[in-house]
Amino acid sequence: YEKLAHEVTATEAILEESFFRTPGGPKCLLGYEGDVPVGFCIYFHNFSSFIGKQGIYLEDLFVRPQFRGKSYGKHLLLELVKIAKENGLGRVEWSVLDWNKPAIEFYKALGAQDMNEWTVYRLNRSTIEKLV
């Protein structure tokens, strides 16, 4: 959906290691229609020095195209919010591509605030290798 398939290097083995063998690793919520998987939400815990609490970073929220418009994305996100609330976490945060208008409108309709004054930076694997 993000038109970034050329950047995907994850394999089943890498995902298995990250989700099931890494202490404190990412977690995943799955959405189903009956027995059919329709979407997922991948998240992990982060920390805010501003509020002195852990939060949740939503890495991916995805609903298969044929199941969009049926509130599966909303239900997955609300389940994540429920987890944050039940655990006394301070925030739920995520990034969205600026051209992804349907997602932006979806998030705003839920009451999410854009953080336009913040810019995301990244060091990718090849840059990390060059730096150290």
| Residues carrying an active site annotation | 107
Q: What distance in Å separates the CA atoms of residue 106 and residue 75, rounded to the nearest whole number?
A: 12
Q: Quick check: 39 and 64 in contact, CB under 8 A?
A: yes
CA angle 80, 85, 91 (to 5 degrees): 75
Which value, to the nearest 10 degrees, does the dihedral of the CA atoms of residues 21, 123, 97, 30 take?
Answer: 0
Helix (H, G, I), strand (E, B) or coil at 27: strand
**CB neighbours of 101 closer than 8 A, spacing ≥ 6?**
none
